[in-house]
Chains A and B, each alone.
Chain A
Amino acid sequence: MFLSKTIKDKQMKTTNIYITLIFLSSLVFSSCDLEVSPTDTYDQETFWYGSKTAQAGLTGCYAALRSQYLYGNASVLWEEAASPNAFNYDNRLGWNSIALGTHTSDLSIITNRWSAAYTGIGRCNLLIDNIDKSKELSQIEIQQMKAEARFLRALFYQILITYYDKVPLIVEAPNIDQGTLGRTDRTEIVDFIVSELDEIANVLPLRYTSSASNGRPTRGAAMALKARLLNFEASPLVNTTNDRSKWEAAANAAEAVINLGVYQLYPTYRSLFTASAENSAESIFDIQFIPEVGMGSSFDVTLRQYNNSAPLQGLVDAYWMMDGKPRSQSAYQNSANYENLDPRFKQTIVYPGSVFMGETVRVDGTNVNFKVIQTGYTYKKYSIYDSEVPAANDVSVGDNFSGINYMVLRYADVLLMYAEAKNEMGELTETSWNATVRPIRQRAGFSAASALNYPGSNADLLSDHIRYERRIEFAGEGYYYNDVRRWKTAENELNKTVRKSDGSAIITRTFNKDRDYWWPVPSSQLEQNPALRPNNPGWGNE
């Protein structure tokens, strides 16, 4: 016995304690359970089984559109400021550097637009590869959801090749091996997007029966996106040999949309960009914004307060007169400032002396509810504000809280793409004109025959008209930067001193025609994946 001096009873107790301790030890040995399963996230494997989860996965694909590097926040407006139309004084996301030609390959928007688009592509690829696992969705539902994801993926690729030219074409769910892929030939990507859009056009409905599906792509959206892509491919920037067949393909794609017969111009220009016209027959595909925290755009606060997409005097000067002629050739050439202009001017631009938010616009920044101090102008397109005093709750709508949808593709664009393609082919006839430019001008508020009628078959003259239409009709919608790129006119238009409403100079912009037509692949991507080298011309090691 180990305890010599203690009585038996105590000894037994001690032995018991000893035994207890051994048990206690074995207890811990056996209870080393290391199993932990998360209760706040789904496992990738089982996620696609359910219908609600799969729907959420699809919604996540759409959410990528809300990135401020694609269509979210006021991205569209800042992009406008990379064009000759507007000025971005605070270099949001680096957009002013692009306008000035001082951008580098690590610029915020250049870096982040790339990754935002691939984020969307990755989500779509994941859905497309996995949704067949569903145990709850019907085949019809699966096909529809796949088609939506394929549309979005096509849109993201279309964005990528519009800015960066060649990019890696990845069409499978994300895996680590994709990280070493190099850039795919442009034509291969274009062919892929076209074939995708052709295929899903047969799956997507012409219209959705329920308004709850507003925001999802239709057959027309797929076809209009194809038209935009082919329009870009036919333009001088890409179509360096002026291959007529490319214009033909572009014209056909646009015509196919027109022939669907489901789209028409909204009756009034100004109200097209208000909540009342959302999801109208002019809208082909839009970003759905609602006035809830984080779910809106920042258009109102940007236009009202930041004024960092301020229209330039150059844009104001570009407006023709109400007879459809430039001021120098117009009967109205002696009109006062801002008077007798293209009716779209006053529906688009807030200018000194006009009434906005119930106040007379002053350039010195003394307006109470808004500022136009950068150039003297701001846009009112897509804003809830106009000349009236806003409701008290609307006076200071903040960031990401503006609820008006932004139209990525609208019918007027398709009409003008068609007219442009036809004209480039030398086939813009009076009939075609009357089906495209004329109704747009009519809707804009023109009444003079000189503005509405076919100006004759001179292709250059028609080209002037079409390019004028695109600049003015879409002013403030972020289209013009890509237009001057694809027309290769940026080297003229972006090598200029930009001015305020009083004519005073702000700064002189530069555009390097040998470099700046394409954005560089972001340096962070080259660092991560050397297979992406060489970069675009003018951007280092070639």
Chain B
Amino acid sequence: MEKPDKKTILMKFNLIICLLLSAFMQVNAEIYAQKVTLNAQDVSMEDVFEAIKKQTGYVFFYNSEQLKDIRVDVQVTNSSVKETLEKCLKDLPFSYKIIENNIVIKSEGKMAKTSRRGSSQENIVVNGVIRDTDGNPLPGATVHVKNDRLKSVTTNVEGYFSIQVVEGSTLVISFIGFEPQEVIAKRDAQFNIVLKESESELDEVVVVGYRTQRKETLTGAVSTIDMSSKETETITHASQALYGTTGVWLNQAGSKPGSDGAVIRIRGVNTLSGNNPLVLLDGVEYSMSEIDPADIETITVLKDASAAIYGSKSSNGVILLTSKKGKAGKPRIEYRSHVGLQNATYLPDVVDDPILYMQMRNRAEFNSGKLTGTYSQEQIDEYRAGMSIDPSVYPASNWFDITMKQGMVQQHNARVSGGSENITYSIGLGYMDQQGILITNDDAQRYSFNMKLSADVTPRLKVSAGLTGNVRTYDEVGYGTSTVMGVIMRGLPIMSDYHRNNVYGSTWLYTPGRNNIENPRMETEQGFTKRDYQEFLSSLTLDYKLPFDIKYNGVFGYRKIDHWSKDFIPLMYTVNPKTGDQKVFNSTATSPRVKDWDAYNKQYSISHRLVWEKLFSDKHLAHVMFGQDYQVNDNRSFQAYNAGFYDNSLQELNALKDQTNAQATGGSSLDKLASFYSRLAYTFDDKYLFESTFRVDGSSRFAPGNEWGFFPSISAGWLISEEDFFESNQINLLKVRGSVGKLGNQAVSIGSYNSEVVINTGYNYSFGGTQTGGAAVSALNYRDIKWESTLSYNIGIDLQAFNNKLSVTGDYFYKRTFDILRSVGIPSQVGGLTGPTLNLGTVDNKGYEFGVNYRDQIGAFDYGVNASLTYVKNEVVDIKGEERISGRYIIKEGYPINSYYLYESLGYYQSQDEIRDAQAVYGTRTKIRPGYIKYANQNDDAYIDDQDRIITGSTIPAYTFGFGANVGYKNFIVEAQFQGVSDVDVYPTGNVAFPFNNGAGVTYEWARDSWSETNPNSAYPLLTTYTDGGENFINSTHWLQDASYIRMKNIQLGYVFPASIANKMNIDRLMIYVSGQNLLTISKFKLWDPEMTVTRGDLYEYPNLKTFSFGLNVSF
């Protein structure tokens, strides 16, 4: 190959890839022409095939079971493949067939086991002794028939067992801490079984930054989740697999169909914005919510400086998803399915008795100083009398009951995987359907597809390709979920549920704050938002073995997102149920209206690296890696809108010729990231582990000159248990490890260093009746912003003991985030502009995490318990002495990020005398009466004002914890996982949280426990309306509530069918289970699910759901 002109390559990158691939092809073609030379005695057929494959490239297909005991002698020199095979298979009951580059070996005779098994369907007694490698007997080990745990015995003190089974069945011998073994039951056999000590899960290979590594040799704080352990949990989104992972706070606020409401925080909240971890799927950046959990094999969470190799996006931790891949062997078909019923975990207890509601509202108004109540006594009397006569005029509506139903979720996944030694494949298909709990416009479907193909093209080259796709469609209520949730929470019992011919009942009673022509059912049923979301990731991975033990690895990814939505709002009508007056609910000027929106994002990434790894003198393992990544994100969107359709029947933009109201908008953004990185690692004698990484990242989000950031890390580990001086029969592994590194964050919006003048309809104005386009600057910008960085320190210890039954992991961590990118508040006098984003501030997160796992087996029982605890203390260290106050929240040195900043409530005024002498906020005493909240004057000056607020409470939980247990008995499995957080507070506001909030209703709690002279220490102050009794609803500690909780996240009971039954159906394994999610929650906070968006304020989000499901997992 001629050395091509460099410029041409630069321009024609794709061409190079093609050339590269075609080069491989040529190599291939040539290899098939090779001749075979073999010289071996007493080798297995498989070894022969392997040798032929190596020399020729032919791939063999055969049944290894049939061939495994056959050994041959073979001697050929420069023979053709045909000749070689003929020699080998001579006198053996096998034939072969060459199909293109594949060779298929077929069995001729009936020497397979099946014939023998067919004649021996009778019970035999099998005896044996089980010992460890040192020859000591193993008492208490289990022997059971494969897939039939009912048929099981345990060994006695001498390690002896005896079991009666069908001849030919497979026996599984297992003992905790040892690798299980399988034997075939033969008549008159006396088994002498030696169990090898398992190297436990530490022997597992885990995916870490640009590398796989044995868990034992890790020096970083890394959590791994093996998805096969979650097979009976009805996980609808991948994020849910993270519950209970040490160091991870997962908060799922709301279970809206079609969306993953989870927020993931790893080891606290580092910074003031941009706290999401980086997620990569098979090495390419992807979104956690767009992969079907059934397609994931393992999840790795990098929590400390081990993430530093990901540089600029690593400071919030990195989550690595590995999708399932095929294994060589016969095709394996798996099918998983579950169906569940869903209901809201918490709904507010609103007053749905109309008479009580009206009386309470009147009382609240009088209590707030109003001199007349909204509802007259005549109206109340009429209502009471009418209720039994005409409930559509005199309703008692509970709008949660009316607008909600039981939801349903079903999920099905099928996967076929397998392969030969050279090619493996795995293809998965998934379907999920969720019918939400709103009566209509609340459903979602997900169709997912996942394929992974891997081929050893030559002995040096391995090519893998992956395609993951996700198509989601979902329907939402027309006005949007949070709006409609607010509307439902604003429903009053006096509003009529009349609905016929798309006309809905309103109310004949006037209520202030309402336009009195509303109906929550109407706003749920009428109109819709339809969404269609597609996300695809295709990736190509090349592994090539270069000379000098250097390996090349390249990953080329292309990810595309297409998100389309259509909103339709028809003209809606309500009718006064008493007078029959029909009203148009929404404006005829803007309805019926249609909005079509489409966003199109593409991300392409190139990642490649060279790795050199070599073991010297059996003791020194050296590893050197250089790599580079380049990623471009290109996002575009457009939207079209039109209104004023003739009627509600047509919903497309072209159904309206009138373009007066038409609007078209759109936008684009481009984001580039270039990286160079390296790792140097050295391990001595599997005892001393050292690693260092370096990464340089350049981002287009910063101005020229500030694009580049440097992120190094070092880490080390010491396997004490490998030392000669360390002698313990109890402790199998003891390791200490530590890491220090600098991690980056580019969490700043695109172009924020630019001083921009924005064109926006909000800046338009009309002159002489004509709308004129305007432009304005909306933000002050600072050009010299640079990378935000986190210095991360970690010390950890890993311990395995008692035959690896117990494993304990503990970590102490300290993270200091500095140069925090944050938009600074500036006084409005600076042009009313949004403040610039600056590198300002330092935040510390200190804490520890602790995980423990114990599993054991007693006869037919096996059981396990696990627990994890994470403590994080968040503290703002430096923000230049500023106080950043935003409503109820403050960011101040010495306190956690976004602490609450509130007036302190001192209980209630109990008498008029007390009020006369009291100070009130800003001195406004005029409306205060007994039962109103009393606030503290903190600085003892003449006023209670904004300077008298205190810093209290936290929006970040200090503790997150999880614990669980599982018990298996014979064929049954019972498992429960609990999870919770503590030391976190919420401040609920809005409809439902506050009484009669701008025309909304009230909860029964206010009826039961608000202040009165006879109930002076009530939970709630004197009943007032929120609108008129503002003095009680000043941001104060009175309304701050503890949102700590413990929740039974998951509980399940599973049953594995005995092999005797399963085999009759030609099934390898069949399991059925029932499970429940979120069935039990313990919390002081009762108004709403405590697992909510803590800083949201109002409660207008989709409820969390509890699910009761039935499922089955089957594999062939």
Closest-CB distance, A16 to chain B (whole angstroms): 4
A60→B776 contact, CB < 8 A:
yes
B766→A290 contact, CB < 8 A:
yes
Which residues of B sit under 8 angstroms from A388, Cβ to Cβ? none
Which residues of B sit under 8 angstroms from A374, Cβ to Cβ? 512
Q: Would you call A434 an interface residue if the criterion is a C-beta within 8 Å of the partner chain's C-beta atoms?
A: no
Given contacts A20-B20, A30-B10, A541-B947, contact A497 B768 (CB under 8 A): no
A122→B13 contact, CB < 8 A:
no
B829→A41 contact, CB < 8 A:
no
Which residues of A sit under 8 angstroms from B722, Cβ to Cβ? none
Q: Which of B586, B768, B1031 contacts A213 (CB 8 A)?
A: B768
- State the CA gap A38–B831 with chains docked (Å): 23
Q: Which of A43, A102, A368, A526 contacts B581 (CB 8 A)?
A: A368
The digit string for B736-758, where 1 denotes a CB below 8 A from any CB of A, is 00000000000000110011111
B1→A20 contact, CB < 8 A:
yes
Q: Would you call A36 an interface residue if the criterion is a C-beta within 8 Å of the partner chain's C-beta atoms?
A: yes
Specify the chain B residue showing the minimal Cβ separation from A123.
Answer: B776
Within 8 A of B (CB), among A330-374: 364-366, 368, 371, 373-374
Specify the chain A residue showing the minimal Cβ separation from B4.
Answer: A23
The digit string for A173-184, where 1 denotes a CB below 8 A from any CB of B, is 111101101000
Q: Would you call B773 an interface residue if the criterion is a C-beta within 8 Å of the partner chain's C-beta atoms?
A: yes
Closest-CB distance, A82 to chain B (whole angstroms): 15
B767→A540 contact, CB < 8 A:
no
A106→B661 contact, CB < 8 A:
no
- State the CA gap A25–B830 with chains docked (Å): 49
A29→B628 contact, CB < 8 A:
yes
- State the CA gap A16–B30 with chains docked (Å): 15
Closest-CB distance, B539 to chain A (whole angstroms): 16
Q: Which of A366, A500, A541 contacts B941 (CB 8 A)?
A: A541
Q: Would you call A245 an interface residue if the criterion is a C-beta within 8 Å of the partner chain's C-beta atoms?
A: no
The digit string for A493-519, where 1 denotes a CB below 8 A from any CB of B, is 000010010001111101010010000
A305→B515 contact, CB < 8 A:
yes
Q: Which of A20, A27, A97 contacts B13 (CB 8 A)?
A: A27
Specify the chain B residue showing the minimal Cβ separation from A38.
Answer: B751
Within 8 A of A (CB), among B450-493: 460
Given contacts A23-B16, A36-B671, A528-B827, contact A373 B765 (CB under 8 A): no
A27→B16 contact, CB < 8 A:
yes
Specify the chain A residue showing the minimal Cβ separation from B764.
Answer: A63
B828→A114 contact, CB < 8 A:
yes
> A222-230, A390-398, A444-452, A474-482: which one contacts chain B?
A390-398
Within 8 A of B (CB), among A506-542: 506-508, 510, 512, 515, 523-529, 532, 538-541
B825→A528 contact, CB < 8 A:
yes
- State the CA gap A396–B586 with chains docked (Å): 8
A28→B370 contact, CB < 8 A:
no
Q: Would you call B98 an interface residue if the criterion is a C-beta within 8 Å of the partner chain's C-beta atoms?
A: no
B757→A47 contact, CB < 8 A:
yes
Q: Would you call B655 an interface residue if the criterion is a C-beta within 8 Å of the partner chain's C-beta atoms?
A: no
B1030→A28 contact, CB < 8 A:
no
Q: Would you call A135 an interface residue if the criterion is a C-beta within 8 Å of the partner chain's C-beta atoms?
A: no
Q: Would you call A78 an interface residue if the criterion is a C-beta within 8 Å of the partner chain's C-beta atoms?
A: no
Q: Would you call A460 an interface residue if the criterion is a C-beta within 8 Å of the partner chain's C-beta atoms?
A: no
Q: Would you call B23 an interface residue if the criterion is a C-beta within 8 Å of the partner chain's C-beta atoms?
A: yes
- State the CA gap A39–B590 with chains docked (Å): 31
Q: Which of A25, A28, A57 contacts B776 (CB 8 A)?
A: A57
Q: Would you call B775 an interface residue if the criterion is a C-beta within 8 Å of the partner chain's C-beta atoms?
A: yes
A506→B371 contact, CB < 8 A:
yes
Which residues of A sit under 8 angstroms from B775, Cβ to Cβ? 42, 47, 53, 56-57, 59-60
The digit string for A296-313, where 1 denotes a CB below 8 A from any CB of B, is 000000000110000000
B4→A290 contact, CB < 8 A:
no
Q: Which of B765, B924, B941, B943 has the most CB of A within 10 A?
A: B765
Specify the chain B residue showing the minimal Cβ separation from A514.
Answer: B923
Q: Which of A2, A524, A540 contacts B885 (CB 8 A)?
A: A524
A97→B757 contact, CB < 8 A:
no
Which residues of A sit under 8 angstroms from B587, Cβ to Cβ? 396-399, 401
Which residues of B sit under 8 angstroms from A56, Cβ to Cβ? 759, 763, 772-775
Given contacts A2-B548, A44-B755, A181-B829, contact A504 B767 (CB under 8 A): no
Q: Would you call A121 an interface residue if the criterion is a C-beta within 8 Å of the partner chain's C-beta atoms?
A: yes
Which residues of B sit under 8 angstroms from A39, Cβ to Cβ? 668
B829→A43 contact, CB < 8 A:
no
Which residues of B sit under 8 angstroms from A44, Cβ to Cβ? 755-757, 777
Closest-CB distance, B12 to chain A (whole angstroms): 10
Closest-CB distance, A94 to chain B (whole angstroms): 8
Specify the chain B residue showing the minimal Cβ separation from A532.
Answer: B827
Q: Would you call A40 an interface residue if the criterion is a C-beta within 8 Å of the partner chain's C-beta atoms?
A: yes
- State the CA gap A38–B671 with chains docked (Å): 10
Q: Would you call B832 an interface residue if the criterion is a C-beta within 8 Å of the partner chain's C-beta atoms?
A: yes
The digit string for A70-99, where 1 denotes a CB below 8 A from any CB of B, is 000000000000000000011100000100
- State the CA gap A181–B828 with chains docked (Å): 11
Within 8 A of A (CB), among B902-947: 921-924, 926-927, 941, 943, 945-947
Which residues of A sit under 8 angstroms from B586, Cβ to Cβ? 398
Which residues of A sit under 8 angstroms from B24, Cβ to Cβ? 17
Closest-CB distance, B610 to chain A (whole angstroms): 8
Q: Would you call B700 an interface residue if the criterion is a C-beta within 8 Å of the partner chain's C-beta atoms?
A: yes
Which residues of A sit under 8 angstroms from B1028, Cβ to Cβ? 91, 507
Which residues of B sit under 8 angstroms from A540, Cβ to Cβ? 922, 941, 943, 945-947
A293→B832 contact, CB < 8 A:
no
Q: Which of B369, B606, B751, B921 contacts A508 (CB 8 A)?
A: B369
Q: Would you call B588 an interface residue if the criterion is a C-beta within 8 Å of the partner chain's C-beta atoms?
A: yes
Specify the chain B residue showing the minimal Cβ separation from A178.
Answer: B830
B699→A34 contact, CB < 8 A:
yes
Q: Which of A9, A43, A119, A529 contacts B831 (CB 8 A)?
A: A119
The digit string for B654-676, where 1 denotes a CB below 8 A from any CB of A, is 00000001010001111110101
Closest-CB distance, B884 to chain A (whole angstroms): 9
B774→A527 contact, CB < 8 A:
no
Q: Would you call A328 an interface residue if the criterion is a C-beta within 8 Å of the partner chain's C-beta atoms?
A: no
Closest-CB distance, B627 to chain A (whole angstroms): 9
Within 8 A of B (CB), among A1-55: 2-3, 9-10, 13-14, 16-21, 23-36, 38-45, 47, 53, 55
Which residues of B sit under 8 angstroms from A114, Cβ to Cβ? 828
Which residues of B sit under 8 angstroms from A3, Cβ to Cβ? 547
Specify the chain A residue showing the minimal Cβ separation from B663.
Answer: A293
Q: Would you call A115 an interface residue if the criterion is a C-beta within 8 Å of the partner chain's C-beta atoms?
A: yes
Q: Would you call B228 an interface residue if the criterion is a C-beta within 8 Å of the partner chain's C-beta atoms?
A: no
Q: Which of B372, B765, B773, B943 contacts A504 (CB 8 A)?
A: B372
Q: Would you call A377 an interface residue if the criterion is a C-beta within 8 Å of the partner chain's C-beta atoms?
A: no
- State the CA gap A173–B780 with chains docked (Å): 11
Specify the chain A residue showing the minimal Cβ separation from B591.
Answer: A398
Q: Which of B13, B767, B829, B831 contacts A288 (CB 8 A)?
A: B767
Q: Would you call A214 an interface residue if the criterion is a C-beta within 8 Å of the partner chain's C-beta atoms?
A: yes
Q: Would you call A408 an interface residue if the criterion is a C-beta within 8 Å of the partner chain's C-beta atoms?
A: no
A529→B827 contact, CB < 8 A:
yes
B628→A57 contact, CB < 8 A:
no
- State the CA gap A523–B949 with chains docked (Å): 12
Given contacts A41-B757, A42-B756, A541-B941, contact A18 B546 (CB under 8 A): yes
Q: Which of A43, A59, A211 contacts B765 (CB 8 A)?
A: A59
Can you list 16 pairs linking A and B with CB atoms under 8 Å apart?
A13-B27, A34-B707, A40-B667, A59-B765, A60-B776, A90-B1027, A91-B1028, A102-B1030, A105-B946, A116-B832, A122-B833, A212-B768, A293-B663, A294-B762, A368-B579, A401-B590
Seed contacts A13-B26, A57-B774, A174-B830; 5 additional CB < 8 Å A-B pairs: A20-B23, A36-B671, A179-B829, A213-B768, A393-B589
Top 9 nearest A-B pairs by Cβ distance?
A122-B831, A119-B832, A174-B831, A398-B587, A540-B945, A32-B674, A115-B828, A59-B774, A60-B776
